[in-house]
């Protein structure tokens, strides 16, 4: 008998739009076995599995489950589990609210073994993970998918699953090892033959390019509760907010050594199909009462700009408003209390 090569042991943390479609691609490709960590959708999915309508895998998939479903991040040491080869993080990355990504995954990380794959929006999301797990390979993933969980366990996947995966420099991991890990992950993700995982040898370029869209459209949509079609029809939202924010990101990227194409802002302004009336993910989050990923999407590029001496007046105002909105969500969730303290500056 010919022995089958063993499947990669994958832990996926956060099974919403991006995560569920990632788990589906990995499992159906047959080169990975996925343990998915679910939270609010755990009960619904345990009972009925996921229902998926997908432009790539087909409509009407019902009752689908990955190999293992759990409702909290497992502790490899305490539960005597086989180490996870890959820990794929597809939660929203909310850097200003604990537990943060590096804290969430802690029980599952086997030092020096588990490759941590962050498939999330934003800049510098890799840094706190590398600081906490300096001996583990960290891969940076930028997803271009359109995938939404419309009700617990129901996924609408309506834009192609294209994900760029590349190594992120880490002091105690050789370039050779992190390149090999990224190539391996791309291989197991592509094995289903329906999606496009791309090995990314220029992660900073990919992240800054994506920020052109996310820092501007996601943020302004969140503040105005407005889709990108309406912004374009209004014209003034593009002229006064979106384009200036995009150009500030472009200048900051340039100062950081990343040359984006001259027409990048004009291309990104028009990138959504005209009739989609699309609300980017951060806007969807605030409308659901969820925390927003503004620190990595606006805060980090703004801080990079400050370090590099680039002026970003529009991003600063956007950041201030988003931080105020996050404070209101924190209050609604009981994380901050509107009470004076002895050291309040403005009392
Ligand atoms: N959706 C898209 O089309 C795109 C998304 N992205 C990016 O991809 C990332 C994932 O986005 P998306 O899939 O839309 O997000 P979703 O909000 O759809 O899913 C995130 C999932 O993570 C879960 N989660 C959060 N924290 C934990 C935790 N501590 N333990 C277990 N589960 C947890 C959430 O559970 P709960 O419901 O309980 O909060 C939710 O199920 C984000 O960074 C986003 O910006 C990038 C491109 C496109
Ligand atoms: C625009 C999109 C869907 C790009 O994939 C995105 O990144 C978001 O909504 O946050």
Angle at 242 between CA 240 and CA 246, to 5 degrees: 120
CA distance 331 to 326: 9
DSSP label at residue 198: E
> How far does the centroid of ligand 2 lie from the alpha carbon of residue 281, in Å?
6
CA distance 334 to 312: 32
Contact 26, 10 (CB under 8 A): yes
Q: Which residue has the tokens 């209004």?
A: 234
Q: List the chain residues with pLDDT less than 70.
A: 1-4
Bridge pairing between strands 58-64 and 8-13: unpaired
> What are the tens digits of pLDDT across the range 291-311?
999 999 999 999 999 999 999
* Ligand 2 near 228 CB (within 6 A): no
Q: What is the pLDDT of residue 230?
A: 98
Domain 8-201 part of CATH 3.40.50.720: yes
* Ligand 1 near 149 CB (within 6 A): yes
Q: Is the dihedral of CA 275, 25, 102, 199 positive or negative?
A: negative
Q: What is the pLDDT of residue 212?
A: 98
Q: What is the pLDDT of residue 246?
A: 98
* Ligand 1 near 218 CB (within 6 A): no
**Domain spans of the chain, in order of start:** 8-201, 206-333
CA distance 70 to 11: 10
Which residues are within 8 A (CB) of 276 and not within 5 positions of it... i.e. 6 or more apart? 227, 228, 229
> What are the tens digits of pLDDT across the range 78-121?
999 999 999 999 999 999 999 999 999 999 999 999 999 999 99
CA distance 131 to 122: 17
* Ligand 2 near 144 CB (within 6 A): yes
DSSP label at residue 41: T
User: Which CATH code, of 3.40.228.10, 1.10.1040.10, 3.40.50.2300, 1.10.1530.10, is assigned to 206-333?
Assistant: 1.10.1040.10
ipTM: 0.98
- Is 206-333 in the same CATH topology as 8-201? no
């Amino acid at each position: 008998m010919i022995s089958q090569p063993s499947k990669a042991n994958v832990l996926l943390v956060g099974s919403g739009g991006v995560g569920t479609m990632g788990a589906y691609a990995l499992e159906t490709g047959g080169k990975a076995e996925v343990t998915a960590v679910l939270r609010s959708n755990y009960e619904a999915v345990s009972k009925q599995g996921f229902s998926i309508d997908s432009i790539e895998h087909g409509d009407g998939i019902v009752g689908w489950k990955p190999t293992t479903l759990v409702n909290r991040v497992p502790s490899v040491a305490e539960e005597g589990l086989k180490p996870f080869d890959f820990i794929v993080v597809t939660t929203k990355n909310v850097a200003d609210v604990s537990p943060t990504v590096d804290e969430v995954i802690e029980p599952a990380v086997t030092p020096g073994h588990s490759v941590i794959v962050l498939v999330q929006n934003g800049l510098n999301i890799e840094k706190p993970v590398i600081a906490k797990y300096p001996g583990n390979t960290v891969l940076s993933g930028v997803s271009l998918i359109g995938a939404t969980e419309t009700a617990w366990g129901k996924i609408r996947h309506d834009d192609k699953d294209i994900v760029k995966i590349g190594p992120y420099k880490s002091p105690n991991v050789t370039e050779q090892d992190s390149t090999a890990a990224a190539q391996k992950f791309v291989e197991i993700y592509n094995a289903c033959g329906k999606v496009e995982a791309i090995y990314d040898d220029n992660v900073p370029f990919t992240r800054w390019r994506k920020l052109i869209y996310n820092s501007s459209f996601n943020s302004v949509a969140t503040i105005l509760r407005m889709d990108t079609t309406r912004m374009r029809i209004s014209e003034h939202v593009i002229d006064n907010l979106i384009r200036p924010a995009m150009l500030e990101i472009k200048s900051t990227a340039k100062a950081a050594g990343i040359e984006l194409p001259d027409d990048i802002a004009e291309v990104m302004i028009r990138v959504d199909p005209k009739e989609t009336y699309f609300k980017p993910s951060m806007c969807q989050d605030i409308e659901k009462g969820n925390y927003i990923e503004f620190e990595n999407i606006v805060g980090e590029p703004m801080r990079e700009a400050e370090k590099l001496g680039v002026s970003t007046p529009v991003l600063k105002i956007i950041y201030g408003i988003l931080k105020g909105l996050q404070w209101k969500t924190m209050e609604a969730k009981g994380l901050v209390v509107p009470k004076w303290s002895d050291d309040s500056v403005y009392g």
